[in-house]
Structure 1
Amino acid sequence: MNTARDTIEEGADAAPVEMLAALFGANGWTFEQVSEEEVCGEVPGSWTTYQVRGIWRIEDKVLQLLCLPDIRVPDSKKRDAYELMAMVNEQLWLGHFDLWSQGGVMLYRHGLMLGDDGMLSLEMAQMAIESAVSECDRFYPAFQFVLWGDKNPRQALDAALVDAAGEA
């Protein structure tokens, strides 16, 4: 199997969308380059396959990375979901969880500010994808406990973190 290093020259930087497309392709992940400013791929995680989108804002030199764990929050659970998101976000150093107002779709979002050249290294791209998937995997059970397990947000977070801490 090809690795991203086989596709992209060692130490080389590329335009953010091109780098993410190369990374998706090298890992054998399904992806589509939607435009010069957007790429969308599917990345397997521990609990589910995540849709990962990279959206490049050239004027700001910011790559917005969205990771969608295919969680839709029904209106009846929004209050608990928002409370859980607030508790989860307090624990994150990078990125945050959010809920789109239309459709109730849960997502993880992180913005990478790139330098004046607007280029992305392979290492940065890999770390960004791995971090997004890792955070979604880490808190996926908590969101499921609130949405489908009838736990309150504190119980859900405590149960998810104990379960994760118990795995080795």
Structure 2
Amino acid sequence: MITSYAALSEFGQTLLKRPTLSEGLPLISEYAKQVSSAQRCSIFIYNPNIQMLWTTLADETEKIMVHEDDGIVGHTIKEGKPILVNDPYDDPRFFPMIDKKTGFVTENIASIPIFNSARRIIGVFQLLNKPGGFSRDDVKFMIFFAHYISSYLELAMLFDDDAKILNKETE
């Protein structure tokens, strides 16, 4: 994970100029992929009322919806801690139906819960397919980054019309 505090600060300033999820999420994804060397980034929003997660951003694919019991993302919600999987097809928690549906082949996953200011999980931040796999150092940075973006996501979801519509659809 190559990054600097100056680059992260510059990223944060740029992010604050994009008040809606549709503007901010692609920026978050691109930055995360750049510093991690991952191929893809997905940001799932969690609705505990219906026990579902959906992607507000998933690179190169349509919105993905999964039950909280499914996949690495669901286990991240249940465990409330980061999960690293460098051999997903050999992991019983992995949900290969998403790969089948999208045509993407997942080689490795780093999955990090995103907590709101009340310390409730509001989503999951996932990076996929880092050459050579993900390390504990990657996870340390991703935990920090998830904390860094959580306030932005929480506020954007409160004020973003798209987020309000998504929450109404799923409530």
Q: Does the pair score TM above 0.5?
A: no
Please give the TM-score of this superposition, normalised by the length of structure 2.
Answer: 0.29
Structure with more of its chain in helix, by fraction? 2
Structure with more of its chain in strand, by fraction? 1
Please give the TM-score of this superposition, normalised by the length of structure 1.
Answer: 0.29
